[in-house]
Amino acid sequence: MPSIPVVSANDSSSKVVECLERDGAVVVTGVIDRGVVDALLRELAPHLEIVDPDASINKKYEADGGSANFYPGKTKRITALVARSETFRSFVTHPLMLSACDAILKPNCVHYQVHATAALKIGPGAREQVLHREEDPYQFFKVPRPRMILASMWAVTEFTEANGGTLIVPGSHLWPADRTARRDEVVAAAMPAGSVLLWMGGTLHGAGANRTDEWRYGVFLSYSLGWLRQEENQYIDVPGEIARTLDKQVRDLVGFKMHLGIGYADVTVKDSLGERR
């Protein structure tokens, strides 16, 4: 039976990359401690508290060309985490993520960027999500596609098979387009709080069903090649007045940096608050 490799935060970055290249995913334990988790919870709590877990975003997603049932219900979901959480910004620049991105993405770009962010609280009764690839929006590339995206899920609470730990199909980043996953090839990521699951953009994955009476809490962070359009519109979610306050490394990773000739802007244009950028 396939499995997701597990390594420690004390292991070398080359070991993490080796697992990603071979299996398409890896769990790294002990990446963040209790203090970091508590700070993240405190910063995101006001934003998550007002979210209705039964509100469906599938109709909007379908109107934009997506699947009518892509997003499971019974879920509290927020994005724009770079703007909302100072602690999350340390995830964006974490050496584990940057070393993996350097190895996986950098060969195909001058520099990479934050692709999407989300905090997810998955409630009891949430159904299983359809298996998909992070790179699916770029359908003009044939499967298996070039390496364009690296994704991660940070365990704020424990992830188990019962509470819907992220489903991964190990090795599927190397599969041809016509191969579908058998049920015995799908593995739930089990990991303690403070761990991070990383997976390749071509790896089949999805949220698992929560069959417990507890909420599962994770934070999603992905990166993409600097010349791709980002999944999350970072320039709206992290507008100029916030971007100016960020550390330069975070600001560059969000995308406020040109990639060769792509992404220039007139800095004299006033933003929506009437301030100079």
- pLDDT, tens only, 92-127: 999 999 999 999 999 999 999 999 999 999 999 999
Going by pLDDT thresholds of 50, 70 and 90, the confidence category of residue 267 is confident
**Helix 95-104 and helix 13-23: axis angle, to 10°?**
50
Cβ neighbourhood burial of 226 (10 Å; 0-12, 13-18, 19+): buried
Residue 249 has pLDDT above 80, yes or no: yes
Region of 257 (left: φ > 0; alpha: ψ -120 to 50; beta: rest) is: beta
d(CA 26, CA 38): 24
Give strand pairing partners of 196: 28, 154
Residue pair 266/229 in contact by the 8 Å Cβ criterion: no
Encode 168-202: b = buried (16+ Cβ within 10 Å), e = exposed: bbbbbbebeeeeebeeebbbbbbbebbbbbbbbbb
CATH topology of domain 6-254: Jelly Rolls (2.60.120)
In sequence order, what DSSP letters do the residues of 44-113 get, joined into one string?
Answer: HHHHHHT--TT---HHHHHHTT--TT-S-SSEEEE--HHHH-HHHHHHHT-HHHHHHHHHHTGGGSSSEE
pLDDT digits (tens, 9 = 90+) for 14-65: 999 999 999 999 999 999 999 999 999 999 999 999 999 887 675 565 466 5
Q: Which residues pair with 106 in a beta bridge?
A: none
**Nearest of 216, 73, 222, 91 to residue 157 by alpha carbon:** 216
- Identify any residues that bridge with 27 across adjacent strands, giving them in sequence order: 6, 197
**How do 196-200 and 205-206 pair as beta strands?**
unpaired
C-alpha 224: how far from chain center: 10
Domain boundaries, the chain: 6-254
For residue 274, pLDDT beyond 50: no
Locus of tokens 């159904």: 127
Do 198 and 16 meet the contact criterion of CB atoms below 8 Å apart? yes
**Model confidence band, residue 273 (pLDDT cutoffs 50, 70, 90):** very low
Task: Tell me which of 189 and 277 has the higher pLDDT.
Answer: 189
